[in-house]
Amino acid sequence: MIDARQLLLEAEERLAAAGVPTPRTDAELLLAHALGVERSRVGVLVALGERVDPGRFDDLLELRADRVPLQHLTGRAGFRALDLHVGPGVFVPRPETETVAELAVVAACAVPSPVVVDLCTGSGAIALAVATEVPGARVHAVELDPMAHEWARRNVQEIAPDVDLRRGDAATAFPDLDGAVDVVVSNPPYVPPGAVPVDAEVARHDPEVALYGLGDDGLLVPRRVVASAARLLKPGGYAVVEHAEVQEAAARAMFGGRDWTDVRSHRDLTGRPRSTSARRR
């Protein structure tokens, strides 16, 4: 048995030395996972000076210090109000994508019984956010990669079984919904070829198919997503697509054709331009 406070202090120092950006938070979450309790309980144990049996904690710390994503170690990722299953083979949803989901939720809420399509759904995060936050929404989602699709299937089955999840290419998905959709939302791969993500967790562990958008600028897949959105949406329907902050101008250009109007850039919570929306003309 080890003093919980000392255990956490040493763990925090170890993770900080390894370059983990949030060492205290990660240490608390990993200890909670090792003990099989909520993170709030760890705070109580520390405050009371309790001694604990750390179990697998040291092994988890070693993996996290090697920059294995925290979410792969706990098997869970928070996204808005959701607690998603994640792991190797699926892109871990990020906070910036929560603002993209918010735009889709607001647009869907403005329509009675909205039909919403999530292209490149990954873990199912955006689709499930819409399904759980928009009453009466009919949500459809598609994912090409088989491993990611399996994670999405698990999340859909647990959280919102009525979501229509399919495996397929976003460029050709849902021909049965052509012209019948109110909102199309997507967090597609958009990293340019040759660019290496800064975070080790992303570069080493996120699947390449979820990162690299192909083409010279990384926007080949997003352009296909926009073309699908034009096919799927009703007149006046809303599309929103996530992209990198340096791709703002190029993303606006994707919506520059005669199919689109009311093109707008949107910033995430840090003030960076991370998504672009438009209306189907």
- List, as residue ranges, the binding site for S-adenosyl-L-methionine: 143, 187
Residues in the chain: 281
CA 58 from chain center: how many Å? 28
Binding residues for substrate: 187-190
Long-range contacts of 258-262 (CB under 8 A, 24+ apart): 259/230, 260/230
Annotated binding residues: 143, 187-190
SS3 per residue for the chain: CEEHHHHHHHHHHHHHHCCCCCHHHHHHHHHHHHHCCCHHHHHHHHHCCCEECCCCHHHHHHHHHCCCCHHHHHCEEEECCEEEECCCCCCCCCHHHHHHHHHHHHHHHCCCCCEEEEECCCCCHHHHHHHHHCCCCEEEEEECCHHHHHHHHHHHHHHCCCCEEEECCCCCCCHHHCCCEEEEEECCCCECCCCCCCCHHHHHHCCHHHHECCCCCCCHHHHHHHHHHHHHEEEEEEEEEECCHHHHHHHHHHCCCCCEEEEEEEECCCCCEEEEEEEEC
The Cβ of residue 191 has, within 10 Å, a number of other Cβ atoms equal to 20
Write the CA distances from 54 to 8, 43, 69, 74, 76, integer angstroms: 10, 15, 20, 15, 20
